[in-house]
Amino acid sequence: MILSILVFVVILVLSIPSAIIFIPLAAITDWVAPLYNVVCFIVSVGYFVGGIRIRVEGRENVPRGRACIFMANHVSNLDPPALISRIPGRSSGFSKRAVFNMPLFGYCLKLGEFIPVDRLGTAAGAQKSVGAAKRILDKGLHITTFVEGTRSRDGRMLPFKKGPFYLAMQTGAPCIPVSIYGTETMLAKGSFAIKPGVAHIIFHAPVNPGDYATREELSQAVREVIASGLPEWMRT
């Protein structure tokens, strides 16, 4: 728990001056890249202090100059910052609507064009989120989504949500399957204690939605690719 407190203090110390400089800059000029980059840097420093090494494979698989939908499994709260900070270019993503009400952090999400989603998962809410995601892809930004919709408690893959695959079929954006493992032992669901270790992030070759007749077929294809990069015990 002491390590978790140390990481929190380091991130807080770095975040205060960065917020003073880069949030007003983004708000006034609509130039979000400096804020995005400094947040990714702070994340990397926090992970270093926490003894967490991030080992990335396959980043050369990400197409250049094309907005993609990154689809990853989810085993820890460490996954989103670790993954998004390692994606080439800038990525938006989905976040619970309640998080947008948090002071400062929620405002940064809005500046970064992250997309609020409702926990209840109504059809109208899903259509609104997909519409927002399509507009972001049209701008050339990536979308990052954790296709299980929640963290796995034991590391094993959960059923996938339909929304990301509906988005992919509607836009034709390349799907980049991402396998994440190792973080399930560093910050497990329901725990606040960070443990040192190695987080593995594997970017697989793009899956083209146009090659599949239905979103169910696309979902199964992406699932098989993500599973191929995970330890055997996590695949079921």
Within a domain: 30: no
5-28 pLDDT, tens digit each: 999 999 999 999 999 999 999 999
Tokens of residue 236, six digits = 């079921």
User: What are the 10-residue block averages of pLDDT along the chain, 236 residues in total?
Assistant: 89 94 94 95 96 97 95 96 95 89 88 84 73 92 95 93 92 97 87 91 98 96 98 91
Question: With contact defined as beta carbons under 8 Å apart, do 203 and 58 qualify?
Answer: yes
Does 49 map to a domain?
no
Whole domain around residue 113: which residue ranges? 54-234
Rounded CA-CA distance 164/176 in Å is 12
Q: Is residue 78 part of a domain?
A: yes
Per-residue model confidence (pLDDT) at position 128: 81
Structurally, the chain folds into a number of domains equal to 1
> CB count, 10 Å around CB of 78?
24
What's the pLDDT score for residue 23?
95
10 Å Cβ neighbour count for 226?
Answer: 24
Whether residue 1 lies inside any domain: the answer is no
Unique residue bearing structure tokens 């330890």? 231
Query: How high is the pLDDT of residue 122?
Result: 65
- Amino acid making up residue 69: I
Query: Which helix or strand (DSSP H or E) is residue 94 part of?
Result: strand 91-96
pTM: 0.93
What pLDDT score was predicted for residue 95?
87
Q: Would residue 229 count as lying in a domain?
A: yes
Helix (H, G, I), strand (E, B), or coil: what is residue 225? helix
What's the CATH number where 172 sits? 3.40.1130.10
Give me the pLDDT at residue 118, please.
77
DSSP state for residue 207 in the 8-state scheme:
B
d(CA 23, CA 183): 30
Give the containing element (helix H, strand E) for 116.
Answer: strand 115-117
DSSP string, 111-164: HTT-EEE-TT--HHHHHHHHHHHHHHHHTT-EEEEETTSS--SSSSPPPPPSHH
Phi/psi zone of residue 165: left (φ > 0), alpha (ψ -120 to 50 degrees), beta? alpha
Q: What is the pLDDT of residue 58?
A: 97
Residue 44: inside a domain:
no
Q: Output DSSP code: residue 126.
A: H
Backbone angles phi, psi at 213, to 5 degrees: -80, -30
